[in-house]
Amino acid sequence: MNGAGQTVKYGYDLGGNLTGLTYPNGSQVTRAYDAADRLQKVTDWLSHSTTFGYDPNSNLTSEAYPNGTTATFRYDNADNLTQIHDLKGSSTLWTFGYSRDADNQLQTNTDPIEVKNHTYSYDALNRLSGDGSAGGNTTFGYDAADRLKTITANTTSTLGYDNADELTSLVKQHGTSTTQNLTLSYNADGDRTRQSDSVSKTSSTFGYNQDDQLISYAKGSSGWTYKYDGDGLRASKTAGTATTDETWDVAEGLPLLVQDASTSYVTGVGGVPLAADRRRFHGVLLLPGSAREHACPAGRLGEHGRHICAQSVREPLEQYW
């Protein structure tokens, strides 16, 4: 039970697998497993089921959603993802492809959403140095401390750091014009306390408790405050006079958000969100070097377009470049 009096109930099989989850509002989710204790089926309170398939190495090979869409995944002999193929019935929705070099670094990425084919290059220290596509090339430079220093495409971003490797400045230029000039500051614990942009004349401030948990965030005339439970999980968020209570599933290792105000979330393999109330989420977001990223229903865009999931509540993330 959390501080708002909300209770999550759990059910298990003889193998200790989580088979049932009852939400504070009474909604129930059931989970079934195969003989190897791998998650095989998730059914929500509307009787919508998502099923999962695996290869002998326990790599996820298929996800079949209740709307008739199926995603299939292929791997190489080293268990690296090489293809994601999404189907609606017998019709292909899109296909993503990946290849790797002799050092097992991502070399190419075929992205039908961006309608671009990416080719990645690396320096002698195996750091990403280039991302080439039909839309142009992006190059990455590093300083002597192995920190990302420059990002150059149609604009150039230059990053500065302090002796603790904390990002203290970011200047973005388009030709001779400066379009962003961020300055960031931190407290003695390394928590970011302020950031300001001299170009847009905007600033944000961050406040923390003794456990270095974010308890306040202010930007312009808007402000938010946060409270936490005894496990360090965010219990509520207040914006103005509106407070949103949050409830978590703590039975599976990484705490997963299951209810946010009146919205309930359903998760699948690896805690990836499958649904929020009656809205289902099957979008795939692919990033250099990652197998795949699903769009999180309660998330927001963070750096490089990555969707930040609801459980990432350490601090609100801004898009820097």
| Closest of 54, 9, 62 to residue 33, by C-alpha | 54
Cα 14-15-20 angle, rounded to 5 deg: 75
Percent of residues in the chain assigned helix, strand, coil, to nearest 5: 0, 55, 45
Asked if residue 76 has pLDDT above 90, the reply is yes
Are 69 and 49 spatial neighbours (Cβ–Cβ below 8 Å)? no
Q: Which of the residue ranges 27-41, 221-235, 240-254, 286-300 would you say has the lowest mean pLDDT? A: 286-300
Which sequence spans correspond to the domains of the chain? 9-188+241-286
Asked if residue 130 has pLDDT above 70, the reply is yes
Distance, CA of 142 to CA of 126 (rounded, Å): 12
pLDDT grade for 2, boundaries at 50, 70 and 90: low
Q: What is the DSSP letter of 29?
A: E
Distance, CA of 92 to CA of 36 (rounded, Å): 31
pLDDT digits (tens, 9 = 90+) for 171-199: 999 999 999 999 999 999 999 999 999 99
pLDDT digits (tens, 9 = 90+) for 269-298: 988 888 765 444 443 332 333 333 333 323
Asked if residue 320 has pLDDT above 50, the reply is no
Q: Which of the residue ranges 60-64, 81-85, 133-137 would you say has the lowest mean pLDDT? A: 133-137
If you average pLDDT over every residue of the chain, what do you get? 84
- Cα-Cα-Cα-Cα dihedral of 270, 191, 299, 60, to 10°? -20
pLDDT grade for 4, boundaries at 50, 70 and 90: low
Burial class (CB in 10 A: 0-12, 13-18, 19+), 26: exposed
Distance, CA of 233 to CA of 111 (rounded, Å): 36
